[in-house]
Structure formats: C-alpha cells, structure tokens
Structure 1
Amino acid sequence: MKPETLQARLDAAHEAGLIGIVAEVRHDDESWVGAAGLADAEAGVSMESTMRQRVGSVSKTFTAAAVMRLVEAGEIDLDRSIGHYLPHLVPGERGAAITLEMLMGHTSGLADYLPQAYPSLAAFPKIAATTPASLEDHRFTRFDPVDLIALGVAARPVGTPGGRPGVYSNTGYLLLAQLIELVIGLGAEQHITESVIAPAGLTDTELPTGSKIEAPHPKMYESWFGMFDPPRDFSVFDMSWVGPAASLVTTLADMNRFFGMLLAGEIVSPSSLERMRRTGQVIAFDGSRIDYGLGLHRVQAPGLGTFWGHDGSVWGAGAVSLTSEDGRRQLSAAVNQQRWNRLDAGGVPQPHAIDAALLAFLGEALGEA
C-alpha cells in the first residue's frame, strides 16, 4: 500500500471534476485514510475522512443482517412467503409465490416504486425523458412505506417470482422493513439499530427518520446528468422515500468495521453468512448485471480477486464498501456528488474523466502491493 499514490489517485478524481471524495483502505494491519476536494463548494470547506454521509443502498446489507438474525432466532422463515406474513400488502397467488429470500435477493419480480413516487422520473430509466423537478418538490415529503409498497406491487411486474436474472428493487426491502415491524413490534430503523448497529459498536452509524444529518457532514451535490447546473445540495432531504432500503448515515471507519465483522461471521452465524453469499445475476438500475446474494454483492476484480460488499447512491451522495474474500483487504469510499455524466443525443450517459479516475483509485486501493 502506497499512501502517496492513493492520495494522488483521490486528487486526480477531484481534478477530473468530482466535488469531493473520502476513502479508508486497509491491508492486513496497515490502514490509510484520505480525502480530496470540497465538502462545501460554496464556502470552500475541505472534505474530511471522518465526516458522516448518506451511503444509499449499503443500507440493504444492514437490513439483510437484521433479517438473518430474526431467522436465527426462529422468528421468521426465509422460505415462507411474504403473503403468509403480510397478505394485505402482497395479496393472492402472487404473495404466496414470493418468499422472503426472493425479496432479499431481488428475484421477487416486484417493480421498484421509485418512478411512480417521483412523477418527473416516471420515464426512468429512460433518463433523457426525465426531469429532476421531483427531487426538489419532494425534499420534505413524508412518504408512507405502505403507500410506496402499493405502488411497486401495482406496477407491471419485472419478472416472475424466483426467476433469473432478478431485477433490483427497493420495494422488496420496504416489505422486509414492514415484516420486521410486524414481528418485533418496533420500527425497522430502531430494530436494526438495536440488533446490528449497536452490538457491532458502530458509534457513528444511524438510520435517521428525519431530513437532517447530525454531526459534521459534507453537502451532497446532485447533478442529474447535467440537469442541475451547477449541482444542487440535497444533504437536507426526507429519506422516507427509501427508509431502511437506503437511508443509512455512517462513516468510512464504521463501514469497514461492519463489513469486516459481517464477513468474519461476527454479526450473523456462519450458516446465515453462507446463505447470504449464494449469488445469482441481478439487473441493476443502470442495466448492468451484478452478482448478488442476500444483501451482498460479489465483485470479481480482474487480477485482484473476489470481494464482497455493497454500493449505494442517493440524491447527491454515493458510497462503496468492499472486503476481500480472505478479509485481508478493505476499501470504503464515499463521494458527495452523483450523476456527473452528461447525456448524448440518444439519452445515454457518456463516459467522464471522473469515471476513469475512480477506477484507477479502486485498482490501486484493492491491489495486493
């Protein structure tokens, strides 16, 4: 691990146009933290590696771990249908066919509710036909998760229950949150905090139910493919539109700690972890195919080996956390800008120098040397 090279790679991402980036890299007993760019572009405040930030769908691994702990306690059964537990939310034959495992692994066939919840994104993923107006319109909208689930259930199915490839959908994780509330009698955010976050000693991690982030954090700039120019800060935003599917706030150190413990069998049992790591093809929001288990990605990095973890994106913020199969190498990184790519005449996001700079940093951070 070469600290000067890692820092140079971060600096290159900022120089390529990225507003801000932070990262923590661990190789065996060595660790390195770095930052580049600005936490507040208007005030000229620098990014700091200790800042808390929204990390989007990294949240799903925390929710999946909480569900697996309920399975271990005998409270629920992954092979039972969601219709058995929540027949009023997914009724009839469809509810009877969709198991909890399918919800966790994105093979339920349920569509994502997002295009219906945000009207100006109704053409998503046909990006060129969308506008970002709903992001501002819904900055303080308090969504009811049951209403969001209903939108996903009512939408045209994206597959058959258990079919491959699966299709990534937040609807399934909102259903899992409702299941937690049914079984435990607590909101999913509170239960995940008590069963996963607190026991793991993640002192800078929370699932907030409000619109603000406590403690020092960067502004979070959304570009929406150049439709916000300059990028607009969405660090204050009501996160009820995703709840425990993507509302987690955390730090680099806590992400590395969490995934290190999870993949060492210290948060769920070895048998639960084994089941979480049974993967299959899932189509992501951008149309790419990912190797997905139950709340975990498997990433094959050419020449570098196999890594496990998750990435995530919300308005203005993104993150990734990866741990090598042998547990010796870890990377957690977060950025405070999203969707910087411009669209071509056909509405296809075009490559940007930021993309190449980030790939170069990832290769350096995950490498053996």
Structure 2
Amino acid sequence: MEDVHRAGVPGLFAEVRDGDQVWRGAAGVADVDTGRPVDAGMRHRVGSITKTFTAAAVLQQVESGRIGLDTPIGRYLPKLVPGERGDAITVRMLIDHTSGLAEYLPYAYPSLKAFPDLARTGPQSLDDHRLTRFDPVELIGMGVTAPAFGPPGGVPGLYSNTNYLLLGELLAQVTGTTAERYITRNVIERAGLRDTGFPAGPHVDGPHSKLYEAWFGMIDPPRDYSVFDMSWVGPSASLISTVSDLNRFFGKLLAGEIVGPSSLAQMRRTVPVISQEGRTIDYGLGLYPMEEPGRSTFWGHGGTVWGGGALAVIRADGKRQLAVAVNTQRWNRLDSSGRPQPHPIDDALATLHRVAMYG
C-alpha cells in the first residue's frame, strides 16, 4: 500500500479477510493540504459497486415472482422504453449490460460529450454540476434516445449506467417505494451493514477522505470533488460504504444470505461486455470475475466516482476477500491518439491486488 501511495495516490485504505483473520491498513493522506492521514475505517463513495446491491434487490423481486428475469422491460416501464425496444430488451439484459442502450453520461455532462473519446473531453462540466439535482427519468431519456450501441441481447454488450437507472425505476414500480429505500431495507440492512447508505445530499457523512480528480492530467493539480450531488447516478453508483462493510456484504452475498442459490448462480453467468475504459470484460448480473491463470477465481465489482475509486472481491469459496479504496482517479495522461498512457500507479495497484488476493 505504501508503494501505491509513493506511485502517486494521495491516500488509500483496505481490508483483507482470510477465514477468521482480518487485516486493515491505510497509507497516505485524506487531505493533501493539511496532511490529515487516511484511516481504514473511513466512509467512501464506492461508485459502481452499487450495481451489485441493485442487482441483488432486483433478483429478490424475481424470487418473489414480481419481476420476470426474461420479461421485456416494456411490460413494466412502457413509457421509458417504448415500442419494439421495450418489447425486445429484457430485465436480464439491463442487469448484464446487453440491452444495447447507450450511456447517458456524455449527454448529461456537456464537456464530456465525446466520452469515451477522452482526448476530446474536458472537465469543466464537473465543476458546473457539483450541486445539480438530476432527474433519473430525464437521464434515462438521454440514454434511450441516443444512438443504440447494438441490438438488444447482442454481444459484446456495452457497460451503461442507463441500464441500472432503469432497474431503479423498475424496483420503484414493483415495490411501491424508491429503489434506494428498498435496497436499504432489503439488502443493506439484511446484510447488517452499519456504515453503508445512499447520500441524502452532496456531502459524505462521517469521517472520509477528499477525492482528487485528475481527468487524465487536464486537472493539474487534481481537484477535490468529495462534495458532489450523486443524483447523476442514483442506484447505479451513488452508495457510500466502508471497506469492512463491503467485505461483509460480499461475504453474505456469496453465502446465499442476500439472494438464494439459484439467483446467485444467475449472477455468475457471464457475457462479454465492453467497459467504459474500452476493454472487453466478462460480466454477470451485477458481478464479474477476476482471476489470474492457474489461480482461484474471485467475484466482485469495482467502482469509480469523480476523484475516487474502490474494488471489492471475494474468492469463489468465500474464504478470502479484499476491499480497497483510493482517493484519486484518472491519473493516466493521454497519448497523441487519446489513449491513456501507463502510469506507475497501475503496476503498484495491480501488485497490491495480487498480494491481497493470493498472498
């Protein structure tokens, strides 16, 4: 962890579990101006790890019979996904990102219009929208009306937050409450998580780090975006948690205490999906595998927000876990073609992950 800090991450913290043994550690600072240190108990924006919580909530409703996993989304939300696409896109396709729906992000943040053509994006929208309260239905409309990535069910799919905002509206439709309230009562509280929740406003309550966004070297020095209205991602990526809570959640999930064994098996059925970084990954229903050749498979999810990132993974047998949080993002500068260049942080983080996962 000290190597990751020396490579350029202001601060990071982690928890590793191996059976009954628990290790927690931190390196670096939570505030580069004051030198306040990071601590392994800090609360942190965990980004798209939220998707695992949302997927689990939807699968609970599948188990109760209120949602059909292979039922067209148009049966539930005909106004949001109308016509032929509403008839062709199933709930499963939303969860595993094979709906073909575009990402709404470039349309919500004007200076990110060229995303993921990173060389033609700019960070100004991040400042402009720090306190903007977005309407999820409007965001969904941006993604649904944008040019489709591909046909419903086509592979590879495209990792798109539009899918999970739709799942949030689906949960609201069938449960009669907001997705955030349902997930809190039936996923977060069921797992016994004490420091995890959706933000009530733009601030992170409790001890936390500042979050330093570099936007590929275009923000230099990196700027703090820890105060930010997360309505732009909602049940797709707005959760706040701790590394201990993340490990507890994934432990409960793989033990079958959040969803049943058949749902867990569905979560681990993967398809190829193109990530926001342009890489092809195997993606299940809110879970994806991480593994090295000849070594055990881990399941989990990563997440990024403006200025922060997190990763939580658990070995397939449930006996080894890692959750780690960093307080900077997009540290790679771009080459002349707009592709991120290698950075020492990449290798240092990869080494940390490998040692924490495999010993």
Instruction: Flag whether TM exceeds 0.5 (same fold).
Output: yes
Return the match for 1:170 from 157, 161, 171.
161
Distance in 2 (CA, whole Å) between partners of 1:195 and 1:27 is 27
Deviation at 1:26, TM superposition (A): 1.1
Partner residue, 1:114: 105
Partner residue, 2:7: 16
Partner residue, 2:150: 159
Deviation at 1:346, TM superposition (A): 1.7
Return the match for 1:353 from 328, 344, 353.
344
Q: Does 1:264 align with 2:273?
A: no
| One-letter identity of the residue aligned with 1:128 | A
Deviation at 1:301, TM superposition (A): 2.3
Whether the aligned pair in 2 keeps the contact of 1:189 and 1:208 (CA below 8 Å) is: no
Return the match for 1:239 from 218, 230, 249.
230
Q: Does 1:123 align with 2:107?
A: no
| One-letter identity of the residue aligned with 1:265 | G
Deviation at 1:327, TM superposition (A): 1.1
Q: Does 1:276 align with 2:301?
A: no
| One-letter identity of the residue aligned with 2:52 | T
| One-letter identity of the residue aligned with 1:34 | G
Q: Percent identity?
A: 60
Q: Which runs of 4+ in 1 moved over 3 A?
A: none
| One-letter identity of the residue aligned with 1:219 | K
Q: Does 1:179 align with 2:179?
A: no
Distance in 1 (CA, whole Å) between partners of 2:333 and 2:100 is 31
| One-letter identity of the residue aligned with 1:97 | A
Partner residue, 1:194: 185
Deviation at 1:302, TM superposition (A): 3.0
Partner residue, 2:287: 296
Partner residue, 1:99: 90
Distance in 1 (CA, whole Å) between partners of 2:205 and 2:129 is 21
Which digits, 9 at most, give the CA deviation of each residue in 1:238-287, with x for residues without a partner? 00000010001000000000001101111100011111111111100011
Deviation at 1:348, TM superposition (A): 1.2
What SS does the aligned partner of 1:40 have? coil
Distance in 2 (CA, whole Å) between partners of 1:324 and 1:364 is 13
Partner residue, 1:7: none
Deviation at 1:330, TM superposition (A): 0.4
Whether the aligned pair in 2 keeps the contact of 1:107 and 1:162 (CA below 8 Å) is: yes
Distance in 1 (CA, whole Å) between partners of 2:337 and 2:100 is 28
Partner residue, 1:341: 332
| One-letter identity of the residue aligned with 1:78 | L
Deviation at 1:160, TM superposition (A): 0.9
Q: Does 1:74 align with 2:65?
A: yes
* Gaps in structure 2 of 5+ consecutive residues: none
Whether the aligned pair in 2 keeps the contact of 1:291 and 1:299 (CA below 8 Å) is: no
* Gaps in structure 1 of 5+ consecutive residues: 1-9
What SS does the aligned partner of 1:146 have? helix
Q: Does 1:222 align with 2:213?
A: yes
What SS does the aligned partner of 1:202 have? coil
| One-letter identity of the residue aligned with 2:334 | L
Deviation at 1:303, TM superposition (A): 4.0
Whether the aligned pair in 2 keeps the contact of 1:60 and 1:245 (CA below 8 Å) is: yes
